[in-house]
Amino acid sequence: MKKSYRIKKEKDFQTIIQAKQSFANRNFIVYHLENPKNTHYRVGLSVGKKIGNAVTRNRVKRLIRQSLFELTEIIKSDQDFIVIARPNIVGLSQKDVKSNLEHVLKLANLIK
């Protein structure tokens, strides 16, 4: 995923979370905010310490990024969103992560 697709600043995270538009399933929570100035979506990832050690957390982030990369064509371009991983995500395969992420993005109406 290109750097221009990422949200890194704490201020941006807080703005999106304070909009209070969230959707969840067993493995993910997604907060989103419409940003008409964007030419493509931007995403922030949050994987807390309850998930596991650093190796596990980084693996989860890689799986999420790969899933988002595969879903890029169908994600709405004018959205900023944050994906928060829940502890149930540990041990899931790439296919399961992608299907769960796609499900929560559909709930949030972020997929075309």
CB 51 within 8 A of CB 57: yes
Q: Model's pTM, two decimal places?
A: 0.89
Q: What is the pLDDT of residues 55-71, one digit of tens each?
A: 999 999 999 999 999 99
Rounded Cα distance between 43 and 87, Å, is 20
List, in sequence order, the alpha helices (H) in the chain: 10-18, 54-70, 94-107
Domains delineated in the chain: 10-108 (3.30.230.10)
pLDDT of res. 82 = 93
Mean pLDDT (the chain) is 90
- The CB density around residue 16, as the number of other CB atoms within 10 Å, is 23
pLDDT band of 112, cuts 50, 70, 90: confident
List, in sequence order, the alpha helices (H) in 36-93: 54-70
Q: What is the pLDDT of residues 81-109, one digit of tens each?
A: 999 999 999 989 999 999 999 999 999 99
